[in-house]
Amino acid sequence: MNPRFAMAIHYYVFIVFFMHISVLHVLALNPMIGNVTVKCIESERQALLALKQGFHLNNNAWLSSWGHGDNQKECCNWEHIQCSNETGHVLKLDLHVSDHIVRAGSITTALAELHHLNYLDLSYISFNLTPSIPIFIASLTHLRYLNLSHSGFQGKVPHQFGNLLFLEYLDLGYNSLLAEIPPQISNLSNLVYLHLGSNSFHGNIPPQLGSLLPLKYLDLSENGFNGTIPENFGNLSNLEYLDLSSSYQISLSSDLQWLSHLSFMRHLSLPKVNLSTANNWQQLVSGLSHLQYLDFNGCDLSDSIPSSLSSAANFSTSLSFVDLSSNNLMNSSLIFPWLMNSTSSLAMLNLDHNYLRGTIPQAIGELSSLEYLNLASNQLEGQIPISLFHVCSLRELDLSGNRLSGQFHEFAKALSNCNHKQLQTLKMGWNEITGMVPDLSSFSSLQVLRLDSNGLNGTLHEGIGQLSNLRELRLGNNSLEGLISESHFSKLSMLLTLDLSHNSLVFNISNEWVPPFKLIKIKLASCILGPDFPKWLQSQHNMNWLDISGAEISSNVPNWFWEFLPTMSALQIDLSSNSFEGPVPAFLSISAQVFLSNNMFSTANLFLCSNVSANTEYLDLSNNHIRGQLPDCWMNFQSLGFLDLSNNYFHGSLPRSMGSLRQIQSLHLGDNNFSGEIPLSFVNCTELRLFDAAKNNLTGPFPSWIGNNLSNLFILSLHSNQFHGSMPLNICNLDELHLLDLSLNSLSGNIPKCISNLSAMASQATSKVDIFYAYDAYYDDFDGITSFGVNADSASLIWKGKMSKYRSTLGLLRSIDLSSNIFNGEIPSEMMSLVGLVSLNISRNKLVGNIPQGIGQLKSLDFLDLSRNQLSGRIPSQLSQLDRLSVLDLSYNDLSGQIPLGTQLQTRDASAYIGNPKLCGAPLNKTCLIPTQNPVDGNDDHEEQFFTEGFYIALAIGFIMGFWGVSCSLILKKSWRYAYFKFFNDLYDKLYVFAAIKMAKLKRLRA
- Give yes or no for residue 341 having a pLDDT over 80: no
Mean pLDDT of 278-282: 86
Mean pLDDT of 906-929: 90
Residue 974 φ then ψ, to 5°: -65, -40
Q: How far apart are CA 886 and CA 877, in angstroms?
A: 17
Q: Which pLDDT does position 801 carry in this prediction?
A: 61
Domain boundaries, the chain: 1-30
181-213 confidence digits (pLDDT tens):
999 999 999 999 999 999 999 999 999 999 999
Asked if 196 contacts 215 with a C-beta cutoff of 8 angstroms, the reply is no
Cα 794 to chain centroid distance, Å, stands at 20
598-630 confidence digits (pLDDT tens):
999 999 988 888 766 667 889 999 999 999 999
Mean pLDDT of 708-713: 90
- Where residue 491 falls (left for φ over 0; alpha for ψ -120 to 50; beta otherwise) is alpha
Cα 360 to Cα 333, 399, 449, 798, 824: the distances in Å are 9, 10, 21, 48, 64
Q: Which pLDDT does position 65 carry in this prediction?
A: 87
- Give yes or no for residue 935 having a pLDDT over 50: no
Q: Give percent of the chain above pLDDT 90.
A: 55
860-900 confidence digits (pLDDT tens):
999 999 999 999 999 998 898 888 898 999 999 999 999 99
30-39 confidence digits (pLDDT tens):
334 344 456 8
Mean pLDDT of 352-376: 89
Q: Which pLDDT does position 912 carry in this prediction?
A: 93
DSSP class of 103: E
Over the chain, what is the mean pLDDT?
83
DSSP class of 132: B
In the chain, the N- to C-terminal Cα span, in Å, equals 174
Report the 10 Å Cβ neighbour count for 368.
13
DSSP class of 885: -
Residue 946 φ then ψ, to 5°: -75, -45
Q: Which pLDDT does position 669 carry in this prediction?
A: 96
Q: Which pLDDT does position 155 carry in this prediction?
A: 92
Q: Which pLDDT does position 37 carry in this prediction?
A: 54
- Give yes or no for residue 597 having a pLDDT over 60: yes
Within 8 A by CB and 6+ apart from 936, the residues are 877, 880, 881, 900, 901, 902
- Give yes or no for residue 772 having a pLDDT over 60: no
816-869 confidence digits (pLDDT tens):
999 999 999 999 999 999 999 999 999 999 999 999 999 999 999 999 999 999
Within 8 A by CB and 6+ apart from 448, the residues are 424, 425, 426, 427, 470, 471, 472, 782, 783
Beta strands in 812-944 (DSSP E): 815-817, 822-826, 839-841, 846-849, 863-865, 870-874, 887-889, 894-898, 918-920
Q: Which pLDDT does position 626 carry in this prediction?
A: 95
66-100 confidence digits (pLDDT tens):
888 777 888 999 999 999 999 999 999 998 876 56
- Give yes or no for residue 1 having a pLDDT over 80: no
941-995 confidence digits (pLDDT tens):
444 444 455 555 555 665 566 555 555 555 556 565 556 556 656 665 566 556 6
Q: pLDDT higher for 19 or 764?
A: 764
Report the 10 Å Cβ neighbour count for 771.
21
Residue 2's pLDDT band (boundaries 50, 70, 90)?
very low
Q: Which pLDDT does position 586 carry in this prediction?
A: 81
| Helix extents (H) in 88-162 | none
DSSP string spanning 516-583?
S---SEEE-TTSB--SS--GGGGG-TT-SEEE-TT----SPPPHHHHHHGGGS--SEEE--SS--EEE
Q: Give percent of the chain above pLDDT 70.
A: 80
574-596 confidence digits (pLDDT tens):
899 988 888 888 878 778 889 99
